[in-house]
């Protein structure tokens, strides 16, 4: 093998956590080489002109987690200097019920309280109290647990402080509430189907369902954060955030290299020395960072780890499949409520119960008859995304089986092998389009183009999305928080590996999925501290 390149740090994969980690190191003067197997960098950040003149974010698109996190606080200046601009509108989220009511919410919790109180007196007050607790008495503990290093002294200090403040009973009460399902909380604390249906779809954005443990905490936190902080996106397309990160890395003497599939991590004793890409060696003077799934790290890249660790990596569980459908429209859709045209993310569902039912159907291998739709409207925030007067719909589903056993509606023929194919994908897209027609009549007449990506397509675009799981592993308590990716291995947990300078990051690692970049941030801090 030839030593083609050396850097202070080598990073495998170029997703949000990789780019965040690399940029944080670069601004401290370290040289970083980022290696991406695909032809374009960015992982789940991918922008394409699917139809002439229309700029589509093919996978992820919204950045509330990043802008509210530690990474952006540290990098906002360098990113702005590199040409990055975030934009957001007056509205945050909304709900459209087929054959029923709709509601648009501004980026303002006080306004949200008033709107829900107008529907049912006291309902808005309950939501306001929930949000106030999330960002008040519970904020330090919640955000410390979700964003900190689980097995380090600051975390012990946080928990000790919480114990002194709350007492053991108070701490146990917090733990009980953190493990509660969304349905149980919603049936107890919310009075209307409208409020339950408004928040329930946000649970899906962590890969959970409303009946699953910890879904109440995730749903309450996500909804409160979105209404309070909005839904920012990158002006001109998310690819520009990749470009800005790349400029920061290159200005420090580093590089982001595509079409570079890493075959294995090179180790010597208890230290990682670099990686191999075919016959080429990329040496690392200080650290190697891998943004991969546990199976890739402790199987493909490090095939000689202890059997127990390999087994834990094999046992790591991936969740339901996701699907993206992108529409180019000749004009904005005619929503049943015209105010929804101004909302960046509208969910379409009949009720919380329907969200639960669709999750169960997908878990059992069935295509749901009435899937929950997350309808993104990027042009409502960024008019540069489409020609003047035109529109884009970014539609995401998160309740689909990775292997298909049947169709809940009895309309779509299931392949004998249960695998997704073009026929199933387009039949499902037809179902979604018909469902959209119930809340935006006349949609079909406006469609200039439609492009769909089923679970198999998502995995083909990004190998970390195993089975089309957009979250690289279920966020259930047994493999979330301190347990992510798994527990039981002292030297292989929460980003730490058996090699002292080899770091594991990405959606499969604490604190989990999203575009926050936090696992990359934590790895960068460990590397800088030596």
Quote the pLDDT of residue 145: 85
Whether residue 173 sits in one domain with residue 147: yes
The percentage of the chain sitting over the pLDDT mark of 70, rounded to a whole number, equals: 99
Q: pLDDT at position 155, please?
A: 86
| pLDDT above 90 (res 241) | yes
In a domain, 70, yes or no: no
- What average pLDDT score do residues 414-429 get? 97
For β-strands 280-291 and 366-367, DSSP reports them as unpaired
Among residues 461, 486, 503, the one where a domain terminates is: 461
Mean pLDDT of 136-148: 85
State the pLDDT at residue 4.
Answer: 58
Summarised one tens digit per residue, pLDDT across range 200-229 is 999 999 899 999 999 999 999 999 999 998
Is the domain of 400 the same as that of 356?
yes
Which pLDDT score, from 0 to 100, does residue 1 have? 52
Q: Coil, helix or strand for 516?
A: coil
The answer to whether position 344 is within a domain reads: yes
Are 243 and 225 contained in the same domain?
A: no
pLDDT tens track for 461-511: 999 999 999 999 999 999 988 889 998 888 888 889 999 999 999 999 999
Q: What is the mean pLDDT of residues 119-135?
A: 91
407 has pLDDT over 90 = yes
Is 86 within a domain?
no
Model pTM score = 0.94
Closest CA to 297 of 313, 281, 282: 313
Instruction: Tell me the pLDDT band of 3, cut-offs 50, 70 and 90.
Output: low
Please tell me whether residues 215 and 257 are part of one structural domain.
no
Strand partners, 323: 397
More reliable by pLDDT, 43 or 177: 43
347 and 419 in a single domain? The answer is: yes
The SS3 call for residue 79 is helix
Count: domains in the chain: 3
**pLDDT tens-digit readout, 91-125:** 999 999 999 999 999 999 999 999 999 988 999 99
Count how many residues are written for the chain.
530
**Cα gap 522→516, rounded to integer Å:** 11
Average pLDDT estimate for 126-131: 92
Do 164 and 200 belong to one domain?
yes
Distance, CA of 469 to CA of 459 (rounded, Å):
8
Q: Which residues contact 342 (CB under 8 A, 6 or more apart)?
A: 89, 90, 91, 104, 380
| Spacing of C-alpha 103 from chain mean position | 25
For the chain, the average pLDDT equals 94
Q: Do 208 and 244 lie in a common domain?
A: no
Confirm whether 223 is domain-assigned: yes
pLDDT in tens, 311-364: 999 999 999 999 999 999 999 999 999 999 999 999 999 999 999 999 999 999
Q: Is the same domain home to 328 and 300?
A: no
Note the pLDDT of residue 491.
81
pLDDT at 193: 95
Q: How does 377-414 read in b/e, with b if 16+ C-beta sit within 10 Å?
A: bbbbbbeebbeeebbbbbbbbbbbbbebeebbeeebeb
Same domain, 307 and 334: no
> What's the rounded mean pLDDT across residues 406-429?
97
Q: CA nearest 271: which of 262, 261, 284, 280?
A: 284
Report, as an integer, the average pLDDT of 389-417. Answer: 97
Same domain for 324 and 309: no
Tell me the pLDDT band of 164, cut-offs 50, 70 and 90.
confident
Provide the pLDDT confidence category of residue 175 given band limits of 50, 70 and 90: confident
| 259: CATH | 3.50.50.60
Q: Is 451 contained in some domain?
A: yes
**Domain-located, residue 98:** no
Q: Which letter, b or e, does each residue of 470-499 get, where b requires 16 or more Cβ atoms within 10 Å of its Cβ?
A: bbbbbbbeebbbebbbbeebeebbbbbbbb
User: Are 309 and 436 members of one domain?
Assistant: no
* pLDDT higher than threshold 60 for residue 426: yes
Residue that terminates a domain, selected from 206, 229, 252: 229
**Which helix (H) or strand (E) is 407 found in, with range?**
strand 406-407
Q: Give the domain-ending residue among 172, 194, 229.
A: 229
β-strand pairing of 47-51 with 406-407 = unpaired
pLDDT of residue 268: 94
The C-alpha atoms of residue 275 and residue 267 are separated, in whole angstroms, by 9
Q: Is the pLDDT of residue 2 over 60?
A: no
pLDDT at 28: 97
Question: How far is 234 from 126, CA to CA, in rounded Å?
Answer: 33
In a shared domain, residues 149 and 252: no
Do the domain assignments include residue 77? no
Percent of the residues in the chain that have a pLDDT greater than 90, as a whole number: 85
Q: Which domain holds residue 116?
A: 108-229
Residue 71 lies in a domain: no
């Amino acid at each position: 093998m030839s030593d083609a390149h050396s850097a202070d740090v080598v990073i495998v994969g170029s997703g949000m956590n990789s780019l965040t980690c690399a940029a944080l190191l670069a601004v401290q003067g370290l040289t970083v080489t980022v290696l991406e197997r695909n032809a374009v960098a960015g992982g789940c950040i991918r922008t394409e002109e699917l139809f002439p003149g229309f700029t589509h974010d093919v996978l992820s698109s919204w950045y509330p987690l990043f802008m509210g996190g530690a990474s952006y606080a540290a990098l906002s200046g360098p990113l702005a200097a590199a040409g990055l601009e975030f934009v957001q509108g007056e509205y945050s989220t909304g709900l459209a019920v087929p054959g029923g009511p709709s509601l648009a919410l501004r980026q303002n919790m006080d306004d949200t309280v008033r709107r829900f109180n107008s529907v049912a007196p006291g309902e808005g007050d309950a939501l306001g109290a929930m949000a106030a607790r999330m960002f008040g008495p519970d904020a330090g503990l919640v955000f410390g647990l979700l964003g900190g290093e689980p097995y380090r002294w600051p975390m012990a200090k946080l928990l000790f402080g919480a114990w002194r403040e709350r007492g053991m009973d108070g701490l146990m009460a917090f733990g009980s509430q953190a493990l509660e399902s969304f349905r149980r909380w919603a049936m107890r604390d919310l009075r209307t189907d409208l409020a339950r249906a408004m928040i329930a779809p946000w649970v899906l954005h962590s890969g959970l369902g409303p009946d699953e443990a910890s879904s109440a905490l995730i749903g309450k936190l996500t909804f409160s954060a979105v209404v309070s902080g909005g839904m920012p996106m990158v002006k001109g397309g998310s690819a520009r955030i990749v470009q800005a990160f790349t400029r920061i890395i290159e200005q420090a003497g580093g590089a982001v290299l595509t079409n570079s599939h890493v075959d294995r991590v090179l180790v010597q004793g208890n230290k990682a020395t670099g990686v191999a890409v075919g016959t080429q060696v990329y040496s690392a003077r200080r650290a190697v960072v891998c943004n991969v799934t546990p199976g890739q790290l402790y199987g493909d890249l490090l095939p000689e780890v202890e059997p127990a660790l390999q087994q834990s990596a094999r046992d790591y569980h991936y969740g339901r499949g996701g699907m993206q459908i992108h529409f180019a429209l000749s004009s904005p859709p005619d929503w049943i409520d015209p105010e929804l045209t101004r909302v960046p993310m509208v969910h379409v569902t009949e009720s919380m119960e329907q969200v639960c039912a669709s999750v169960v159907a997908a878990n059992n291998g069935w295509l749901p008859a009435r899937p929950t739709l997350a309808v993104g409207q990027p042009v409502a925030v960024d008019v540069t995304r489409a020609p003047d007067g035109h529109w884009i719909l970014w539609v995401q589903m998160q309740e689909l089986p990775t292997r298909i056993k049947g169709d809940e509606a009895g309309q779509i023929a299931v392949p004998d092998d249960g695998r997704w194919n073009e026929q199933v994908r387009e039949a499902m897209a037809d179902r979604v389009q018909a469902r959209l027609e119930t809340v935006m009549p006349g949609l079909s007449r406006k469609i200039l183009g439609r492009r769909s990506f089923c679970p198999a397509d998502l995995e083909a675009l990004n190998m970390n999305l195993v089975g089309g799981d957009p979250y690289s592993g279920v966020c259930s308590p047994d493999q979330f928080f301190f347990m992510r990716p798994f527990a039981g291995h002292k030297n292989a947990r929460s980003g730490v590996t058996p090699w002292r300078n080899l770091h594991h990051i990405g959606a499969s690692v604490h604190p989990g999925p999203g575009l926050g970049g936090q696992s990359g941030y934590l790895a960068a801090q460990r590397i800088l501290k030596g």
